């Protein structure tokens, strides 16, 4: 199968513009990614992610690119803009909606939502999802995720309603100590007056949102918008009929979930169970 490079949108994002210019200059010079990585003394896999706008470079790369292609500081100038975009393009619009929302309602199937993760869990989750990213890039993504939480925990926060699948509590991200601290953080978060936290137990059975996550953003100046996400893709939903159907799905999940008090009881029981998150004995 012929490799198809990721489509870039340089008119929408400085990250995409940076990657598009690498690709344009490289192809103009008739250089493969492998050859460019050898010239720059830079990881080929990391360079490929940068060209696809999935990663940010280290600070030294723009100068190396300008020297390689004789581009008179162009890469340095674009990088100055690109490094202000900590999230890849596929998530950026959802992050902007998150910043504007007066209410956020979210269901998460397999993982603790990013807005509720401790730093340790965020680091484990992002490392698993970005196996080839260098440590500095992982740390930048962790910081960006933790910085988002200021929106929920700061002054004048949005009204938040989280439904966590029981699988998100049971699936370890880090060792037992990391997960117990995460459970304690969930309990503390659930005591805030603007936050409602429910758990959808395994006993609830199958449901319409199994396997992914759903977020609804209530905006003060626009209709409700939805964001559906899988482990690889995220989609903004704006069509009113489609959003209404997703709102109905969320209402069904609310009805199927445990009450906030019973949810806290389940989280505490999970945290206090000595066998939780221990590797299976074979």
* Cα 43 from chain centre: 24
pLDDT tens per residue across span 191-233: 999 999 999 999 998 888 877 899 999 998 888 999 998 766 6
CA 164 → CA 36, 89, 111, 168, distances in Å? 45, 26, 8, 6
Asked if CATH classification 3.30.870 holds for the domain at 89-272, the reply, yes or no, is yes
What pLDDT, on a 0 to 100 scale, did the predictor assign at position 22?
95
Please tell me whether the overall predicted TM-score, pTM, comes out greater than 0.85 for this model: no
> Over 60: is that where the pLDDT of 29 sits?
yes
Domain residue limits, the chain? 14-82, 89-272
What pLDDT, on a 0 to 100 scale, did the predictor assign at position 49?
84
In words, the CATH class of domain 14-82 is mainly alpha
pLDDT tens per residue across span 87-142: 666 677 788 889 899 999 999 988 999 999 999 999 999 988 777 777 877 888 89
Distance CA 185, CA 30 (A): 53
Whole-number percent of the chain with pLDDT over 90:
55
What pLDDT, on a 0 to 100 scale, did the predictor assign at position 2?
44
Short-list 94, 69, 113, 87, CA closest to 14? 87
pLDDT grade, residue 1 (50/70/90)?
Answer: very low
Strand pairing class (101-108; 225-229) = unpaired
Phi and psi (nearest 5°) for 105? Answer: -120, 130
CA 104 → CA 133, 161, 170, 216, 220, distances in Å? 30, 6, 24, 6, 12
For Cα atoms 231, 49, 99, give the angle at the middle one, nearest 5 degrees: 55
Whole-number percent of the chain with pLDDT over 70:
91
Phi and psi (nearest 5°) for 232? Answer: -125, -20
CA 174 → CA 126, 144, 280, distances in Å? 12, 20, 15
């Amino acid at each position: 199968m012929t490799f198809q490079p990721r489509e870039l949108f340089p008119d929408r994002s400085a990250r995409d513009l940076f990657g598009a210019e690498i690709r344009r200059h490289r192809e103009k010079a008739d250089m493969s990614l492998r050859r460019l990585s050898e010239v720059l003394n830079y990881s080929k896999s990391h360079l490929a992610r940068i060209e696809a706008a999935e990663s940010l470079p280290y600070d030294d790369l723009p100068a190396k690119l300008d020297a390689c292609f004789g581009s008179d500081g162009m890469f340095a100038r674009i990088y100055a803009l690109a490094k202000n975009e900590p999230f890849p393009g596929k998530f950026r619009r959802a992050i902007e909606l998150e910043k504007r929302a007066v209410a956020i309602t979210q269901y998460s199937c397999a993982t603790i939502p990013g807005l509720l993760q401790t730093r340790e869990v965020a680091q484990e989750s992002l490392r698993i999802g970005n196996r080839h990213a260098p440590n500095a890039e992982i740390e930048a993504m962790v910081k960006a995720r933790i910085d988002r939480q200021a929106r929920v925990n700061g002054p004048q926060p949005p009204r938040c309603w989280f439904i966590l699948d029981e699988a998100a509590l049971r699936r370890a991200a880090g060792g037992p100590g990391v997960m117990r601290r995460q459970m304690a953080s969930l309990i503390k978060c659930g005591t805030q007056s603007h936050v409602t936290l429910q758990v959808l137990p395994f006993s609830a059975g199958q449901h319409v949102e199994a396997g992914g996550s759903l977020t609804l953003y209530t905006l003060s100046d626009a209709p409700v918008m939805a964001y559906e996400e899988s482990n690889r893709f995220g989609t903004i939903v704006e069509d009113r009929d489609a959003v209404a159907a997703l709102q109905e799905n969320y209402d069904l999940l609310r009805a199927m979930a445990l009450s906030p008090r019973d949810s806290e009881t389940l989280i505490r029981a999970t945290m206090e169970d000595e066998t939780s998150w221990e590797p299976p004995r074979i």
